[in-house]
Amino acid sequence: MIWLSVSTCFRVMALRLVVLSLLVMGLGVSNASAGQRSHGLSSFGELKYAKDFTHFAYVNPLAPKGGRMSMIGDSGRTTFDSLNNFILKGDAANGLGLMFDTLMTRAFDEPDAVYGLVAESAQVAEDKMSVTFWLRPEAKFSDGTDVRAKDIVFSFEILKEKGHPQYLISLKDVVKAEALDELTVRYTFTGTTVRDLPLVVAELPVLSAKYYSSVDFSKTTLDPPLGSGPYQVKDLKAGTFITYVRREDYWGKDLPVNRGRFNFNELRFEYFRDRTAELHNLLSGNYDLREEFTSVDWATAYNVPPVKDGRIIRATFPDDRPSGAQGFFINTRLEKFKDKRVREALGLAFDFEWSNKNLFYGLYKRTASFFENSEMKASGLPSEEELALLEPFRDRLPEEVFGKPFTPPVSDASGRDRSLLRRANQLLKEAGWVLKGGKRVNAKGEHLDIEFLTFSPSFERIIGPYVGNLKRLGINGSIRLVDPAQYQRRLKSFSFDMTTTRYSLRLTPGAEMRNYWGSHNAQTEGGFNLSGIEDPVVDALIEKAMAANSRKELLVATRAIDRVLRAGHYWVPHWFKASHNVAYWDKFSYPKVKPKYSRGIVTTWWFDKAKAAALE
């Protein structure tokens, strides 16, 4: 399952630091137009930080280094068996990205801007069909060897050839990378959807060509890889924990993009079999921090002495990122789910209002959109601009696409809303699934059976009532609880009926839309198109979104995509909350300003010796 605070305020010194930050940073809007060499890149050219900026606005540039943080990873993984996160095989450990630098790195208070890390500058060609990067000569791998253009070229080639399928899809229109000299690299593009490609290649991990000349890139391994980033592996126990130690000799620690970041000497990611075990171990002091995703636990399970006396802080941070899509995803590769009327009926049987009232303590809102909690979400009737994109496909689209977008109906919260179940029954009958002897069967006499695949016991309380409603419709629903490793294997091979996941898009989505909804990725093992969506109209609209020349054009295209996807009933939408619920032992401090589009915990918080001493 993919998922992707704090009470004490900064003291007077911190307030002074914030004022100082505003004074020393270049906060006027800069520009990274095509044809101009620049310290940063963004999809539409605008940059918040000027060339001479000293640090990001959401860090404390004087944050002390030291201490340790242990936590649960934010990827939903409950085990790991590999330190190779670049390939399809294996379950990779949390935190591996901390070991690898990129040419440029994200600013998390801008929608899509990146600034120089290994590369000190970049230039997009005037025709936008290539981008050139100039490397910093001081960049080094952790073994002391220099990072050079040949390593950048190697990284691109090996990721595209042998990496996870997501790299192949993201880099499909990147023709080549070439070393112009030791410190200069040029990427060349093809096609018409090249707007985001400079950012895509700018954020590729930098790998050592020399290291992988003797190490098989295509295999899983528990040997720590060679990186160039701020951390390296200290120790690990597969499936139990992994610890990273901050490199004192990290070449880039004083760069503007890194100042005030990566403050912990050690970062440890813990693994437990389920969320109940996670919570118990946090409250027992066996690790420091976790984000709580279970509403009943957030409402009731923290009524314990360490919370009451302030040793454990419960805090809620705003989440300004698109909440994205979480739900029961329906595997349309299976014949029984081909008819969208069947899929719509499945959606009508899920009573969110009952779940929110009885299971979630009213903490959530219902998700309706694949772009939930963002401007990209479709609403109301299509605008003229949206219609201009949709009209050419009218003969291939259902009529409802041209009306208000589909929104899940509101139930009476009874858990068995009769009006919704009657509507679901009618849809199933129209699709050829009739009731015989209390069982839902088709013309071939086949029963409509649905298995929900999950690895989380805590989700059984949510799926259980849903299965009850399905049985009222004559559908035999069941829950298949598997271990995390088997869950990942079955997800990668699309061996499921329905399963739960969550994914979110960037504020400027690009090639990842192909991964989630593109026809090419529907049959690609390990891909993220879980529902198996194969719709040429969706493919065409994705290309329109990727080719947008302004944010306005992007919003028009994503809203059109949203309308088509929602009319397809490829999922049963869940819920969202635009916040992070975080619980942690009170031995950390953090900047006054939170990065708008990130939790920022691992990279901007720091160990507070005074608070830690008070806990002792």
pLDDT in tens, 381-420: 999 999 999 999 999 999 999 999 999 999 999 999 999 9
Q: Determine the Cα–Cα distance for residues 250 and 236; give it in Å rounded to an integer.
A: 21
Q: Which residues, listed in sequence order, are joined to residue 267 by a DSSP beta bridge?
A: 69, 244
Tokens encoding 233 = 């592996």
Longest CA span, the chain:
76
Count of Cβ atoms closer than 10 Å to residue 11 Cβ: 9
Task: Read off the DSSP letter of residue 494.
Answer: T
Mean pLDDT of 462-490: 95
Confidence class of residue 273 from pLDDT cuts 50, 70 and 90? confident
- First and final C-alpha spacing in the chain: 36
The reported pLDDT for the residue numbered 601 is 96
Q: Determine the Cα–Cα distance for residues 157 and 457; give it in Å rounded to an integer.
A: 41
The pLDDT tens digits of the residues spanning 214-243 come to 999 999 999 999 999 999 999 999 999 999
In a domain, 134, yes or no: yes
Residue 429 or 526, more confident: 429
Same domain, 22 and 149: yes
Residue with tokens 């920022």, as numbered in its chain: 600
Length of the chain in residues, anyone? Answer: 616
Task: Write the DSSP string, 407-458.
Answer: -PPP--SSSS-HHHHHHHHHHHHHTT-EEETTEEE-TT--B-EEEEEES-GG
The yes-or-no verdict on residue 15 having pLDDT over 80 is: no
In a domain, 4, yes or no: no
Dihedral pair phi/psi, residue 197, rounded to 5° = -60, -35
In a domain, 276, yes or no: no
Same domain, 348 and 497: yes
Q: Indicate the pTM of the whole model.
A: 0.77
Extract the runs of DSSP E, i.e. beta strands, from 220-346.
231-237, 241-246, 266-270, 289-291, 312-318, 325-330
Confidence class of residue 510 from pLDDT cuts 50, 70 and 90? confident
The reported pLDDT for the residue numbered 41 is 97
Range of the domain at 85: 12-270+582-615
Same domain, 255 and 375: no
Q: Determine the Cα–Cα distance for residues 131 and 214; give it in Å rounded to an integer.
A: 30
Same domain, 391 and 375: yes
Helix or strand holding residue 132 (H, E): strand 130-135
Query: In 3D, which of 539, 527, 167 has the Cα closest to residue 329?
Result: 527
In a domain, 143, yes or no: yes
CATH code, 174: 3.40.190.10
Of 238-242, 520-524, 564-568, which gets the smallest average pLDDT? 520-524
Residue with tokens 């990942």, as numbered in its chain: 488
Q: Determine the Cα–Cα distance for residues 521 and 216; give it in Å rounded to an integer.
A: 26
Q: Which residues, listed in sequence order, are joined to residue 187 by a DSSP beta bridge?
A: 131, 177
The reported pLDDT for the residue numbered 585 is 98
Task: Read off the DSSP letter of residue 173.
Answer: T
In a domain, 279, yes or no: no
The secondary structure of 76-94, three-state, reads: CCCCCCECCCCCCCCCECC
Mean pLDDT of 1-17: 32
Tokens encoding 343 = 């899929």
The pLDDT tens digits of the residues spanning 494-505 come to 999 999 988 878
Same domain, 121 and 19: yes
Q: Is 569 helix (H, G, I), strand (E, B) or coil?
A: coil
In a domain, 281, yes or no: no
Mean pLDDT of 254-282: 95
Q: Determine the Cα–Cα distance for residues 53 and 258; give it in Å rounded to an integer.
A: 12
Count of Cβ atoms closer than 10 Å to residue 8 Cβ: 14
Same domain, 97 and 216: yes
Same domain, 159 and 252: yes
8 A C-beta contact, residue 591 and residue 14 = yes
Angle 571-573-578 (CA atoms, 0-180°, nearest 5)? Answer: 140
Our count of domains for the chain comes to 2
Residue 16 or 587, more confident: 587
Alpha helices in 146-189 (DSSP H): 149-162, 165-170
- Report the mean per-residue pLDDT for the chain: 92
The reported pLDDT for the residue numbered 266 is 98
The yes-or-no verdict on residue 110 having pLDDT over 60 is: yes
Q: Which amino acid is at 41?
A: L
8 A C-beta contact, residue 371 and residue 324 = yes
The pLDDT tens digits of the residues spanning 123-171 come to 999 999 999 999 999 999 999 999 999 999 999 999 999 999 889 888 9
The reported pLDDT for the residue numbered 60 is 98
Same domain, 239 and 256: yes
8 A C-beta contact, residue 451 and residue 507 = no
The yes-or-no verdict on residue 31 having pLDDT over 70 is: no
426 contact partners, CB below 8 Å, separation of at least 6: none
Cα within 13 Å of Cα(408), Cβ side: 27
The reported pLDDT for the residue numbered 33 is 65
The yes-or-no verdict on residue 605 having pLDDT over 60 is: yes
In a domain, 605, yes or no: yes
8 A C-beta contact, residue 126 and residue 275 = no
Q: Which amino acid is at 38?
A: S
**Dihedral sign, Cα of residue 19, residue 41, residue 105, residue 517:** positive
The pLDDT tens digits of the residues spanning 555-564 come to 999 999 999 9
In a domain, 304, yes or no: no
Strands 114-116 and 104-106, sheet pairing? antiparallel
Confidence class of residue 5 from pLDDT cuts 50, 70 and 90? very low
Same domain, 356 and 411: yes
Same domain, 335 and 222: no
Dihedral pair phi/psi, residue 548, rounded to 5° = -55, 135
The yes-or-no verdict on residue 544 having pLDDT over 60 is: yes
Query: In 3D, which of 125, 145, 150, 124 has the Cα closest to residue 135?
Result: 150
Q: Determine the Cα–Cα distance for residues 202 and 41; give it in Å rounded to an integer.
A: 9
Q: Which amino acid is at 276?
A: T
Residue with tokens 């450990």, as numbered in its chain: 93
Same domain, 447 and 534: yes
Q: Determine the Cα–Cα distance for residues 328 and 577; give it in Å rounded to an integer.
A: 17
Of 77-81, 187-191, 452-456, 534-538, which gets the smallest average pLDDT? 77-81
Q: Determine the Cα–Cα distance for residues 101 and 325; give it in Å rounded to an integer.
A: 29
The reported pLDDT for the residue numbered 23 is 33
Same domain, 343 and 459: yes
CATH code, 519: 3.10.105.10
Task: Label residue 77 left, alpha or beta by phi (over 0 means left) and psi (-120 to 50 means alpha).
Answer: beta
